[in-house]
Structure 1
């Protein structure tokens, strides 16, 4: 990614999971990386990983739900690493629970971190990019930015909000003929530590909805998007494509399908540990480093054929169209069987 060489990149939520994997991937491109997160142990581990990958790094402990703290972090980044060229919003917090089991304070907190954290990060980035007339903002999203699923109402609501916010901002930048870019990367289910630290009221251990991808799949896509931000959106993983396309043509059938399968598909057969940490209010990785991967290495895949097609969409348009049509047909057939 020679386009990124010698750039300064900020990543929120960088102490674990997708954020950390993305920081490592950026470091391999020869960039300066600023890691923003809350957990001290997670940040320390991320600094070591990024250093091994060859990147110059600074770590800043910050709660992205605090706009003043985000602004101060941006100031520190520019003082220590130079002007911010790329800002990547990843940080989130959430809950696994039916909506009626979530109280107002919990829902508000999840929304402030997961949605407003992106807003505050974008504000801090644009404040510095606009006077210089350059920069890229990458919003890390999910298939759940378009398609809500049960047991994740706070997260799905926030991701939908990010989608609308980013579209509005992109229109404004286009109106101004601004050279600043914003793009969004919609991700599939990933093997990250979130399933070991997100506040859960489920009877069994939470899991990603299969198929499961390793976080490095997401990291490569995010770095690519940062280097090629002209596209408004990237979809990663065949499951993301299938979900979004089926939702576009048969959302009601998908409602019924998820009503039947969405509870069981998000839980393993193991009971949830009663002492599982919860990072909604305090960082779970303050004293223990959870790393990049979650507990599902034996079930997660390291490559996505669909992502290759997405990157090379101009030369592979026919193949992509065939893949999309196949995904819609297969998805509809599955929904019909489930709804019967």
Structure 2
């Protein structure tokens, strides 16, 4: 069955970085719910394999080889998607690259490449979607972000910087849409460590492989949260307890969060030495269309561990209301005249 929008046509979702890991899990989740799905990634062979997997779910699928760092390529892909599948209802910015290395050993070119993919790639996708959604006054754009956009970690300065930049861009754009009274929605999904193949594809310069620090979560949990953001938009969603704890620590005690992040250095690299690798920063790594990485034995099985900003706001308002009520009762009690007991 193909899910329809209120105009009667199929609902169309676009997922960048959709040929593996979280992107592929998300695309499959949309396909299983009857959406038409377009997936964008650099590796044409892996895209074809991913498209075949999605087609088995009964979905209309369009796979387009494109580098999100190329704004013109994304614009052309967006035109093709709307021409072949229909109006885009949800756009998921998921594509990313990173390098694991001390910051002073990362070249300017590497900083630029991570930024072009992880930050500007999301900007290009957002603007391409927005140019179609705003005239229709309908649609949702989901930024797939990270707990590292709230509390940065060592060894990933370019990636953390790109994700922080994405938060600023999204908040600015959200304010513009509110000013324009636009019905287009923006949502940011903050992810924890997730068991994806990316940990084996990352460029490294530490003498060790990259390790997903515990706790590690299932890509399908992320897909659930992203789908929730696309179908029931909320400002933000935090996936996994780690993201919530990082946000709380950074807000309440940032100097403590600095020290904890520094202690996490060793947790982010494998113990055994491994020659530095080029990874997928400049070009895709040869691999099939796979969702899971190598940390299956450490992966949490939960499929429901995520929280929305609506739940946070309800909690804050509830606590604030309780505090105000308590204050009012205290003032009332203190305002009553003191009754002295008569002497015996």
The equivalent residue for 2:149 is: 145
Question: What runs of 5+ residues in structure 2 fail to find an aligned partner?
Answer: 320-344
Q: Give the whole-Å Cα distance in 1 for the aligned partners of 2:137 and 2:157.
A: 37
Question: What runs of 5+ residues in structure 1 fail to find an aligned partner?
Answer: 322-340
Instruction: Answer yes or no: is the 8 Å Cα contact 1:145–1:163 preserved in 2.
Output: yes
Q: Give the whole-Å Cα distance in 2 for the aligned partners of 1:315 and 1:172.
A: 22
Secondary structure (helix, strand or coil) at the match of 2:14 reads strand
CA deviation string 1:222-280 (max 9, x = no partner) = 00110011x21111111110111011111111112222x22211012232255x55111
Are 2:52 and 1:48 equivalent residues in the alignment? yes
Q: Residues 52 and 317 (structure 1 numbering): CA distance in 2 closer, same or farther, change over 3 Å? A: farther
Q: Residues 105 and 78 (structure 1 numbering): CA distance in 2 closer, same or farther, change over 3 Å? A: same
The equivalent residue for 2:281 is: 280
The equivalent residue for 1:91 is: 95
Instruction: Answer yes or no: is the 8 Å Cα contact 1:237–1:304 preserved in 2.
Output: no
Q: Give the whole-Å Cα distance in 2 for the aligned partners of 1:233 and 1:3.
A: 25
Q: Equivalences for 1:112-151 in 2 at 5 Å?
A: 112-151=116-155
Instruction: Answer yes or no: is the 8 Å Cα contact 1:38–1:63 preserved in 2.
Output: yes
Are 2:173 and 1:169 equivalent residues in the alignment? yes
Instruction: Answer yes or no: is the 8 Å Cα contact 2:129–2:141 preserved in 1.
Output: yes
Q: Residues 156 and 312 (structure 1 numbering): CA distance in 2 closer, same or farther, change over 3 Å? A: closer
The equivalent residue for 2:242 is: 239
Q: Name the Cα RMSD after superposition.
A: 2.3
Secondary structure (helix, strand or coil) at the match of 1:85 reads strand
Are 2:217 and 1:213 equivalent residues in the alignment? yes
**Aligned residue pair count:** 314
Shift of 1:6: 2.9
Q: Give the whole-Å Cα distance in 1 for the aligned partners of 2:130 and 2:313.
A: 33
Q: Give the whole-Å Cα distance in 2 for the aligned partners of 1:55 and 1:314.
A: 35
CA deviation string 1:10-47 (max 9, x = no partner) = 11010111111100000011000000000123212211
1:29 to 33, 44, 48: 33
Shift of 1:3: 8.1
1:251 to 254, 261, 265: 254
The equivalent residue for 1:325 is: none
Instruction: Answer yes or no: is the 8 Å Cα contact 1:193–1:290 preserved in 2.
Output: no
Shift of 1:197: 0.8
Q: Give the whole-Å Cα distance in 2 for the aligned partners of 1:112 and 1:120.
A: 10
TM-score by length of 1: 0.87
Q: Which has the larger radius of gyration?
A: 2
The equivalent residue for 1:333 is: none
Q: Give the whole-Å Cα distance in 1 for the aligned partners of 2:309 and 2:58.
A: 25
